[in-house]
Amino acid sequence: METSIEIEVRPTEIDVMGHVNNAKYLEYMEWGREDWYNKANLSFDRFTEMNIGTVTVNININYRKEARLGEHLTIRTRPLKRGRTSYVLEHVIENEQQELVADAEVVNVTIDLKTRKSVPIPKELADRFPS
């Protein structure tokens, strides 16, 4: 399942170079992940009921084209692959001209909320990934 959200670049997201600050792309992607989880019926509350947390352990991001104030961006999120306790979500950010602005692979690990140790991915999450 792929999801997408649209945002408008705000003044607080611009750096001294006049474009989106690199750290803001991480926020955009986090918003995309949150939307993906919610549309997959895996809200924060659902994970808590399962005693599961998700922790981001690696982000490999490519900055392809600058984005500027007022531009509308689309953030697409989709599941790429999964292991036993980790999984990878892909994010693609495009501008209004459908030009690639940034892309990333984000590795997450599922943990037990009490022990704070990694645990196998719950079936509800695992089923969202390609076999």
Other C-beta atoms closer than 10 Å to the C-beta of 45 total 7
pLDDT recorded at residue 131? 72
Domains of the chain: 3-126 (3.10.129.10)
Query: Catalytic: 103?
Result: no
Residue 51 host element (H or E)? none
| Token digits of residue 54 | 């998700």
The stretches in the chain having pLDDT less than 50 are none
Q: Strands 3-8 and 52-63, how do they pair?
A: unpaired
Q: Which of 1, 3, 16, 24 is nearest to 76 (CA)?
A: 3
What residue type is assigned to position 131 of the chain? S
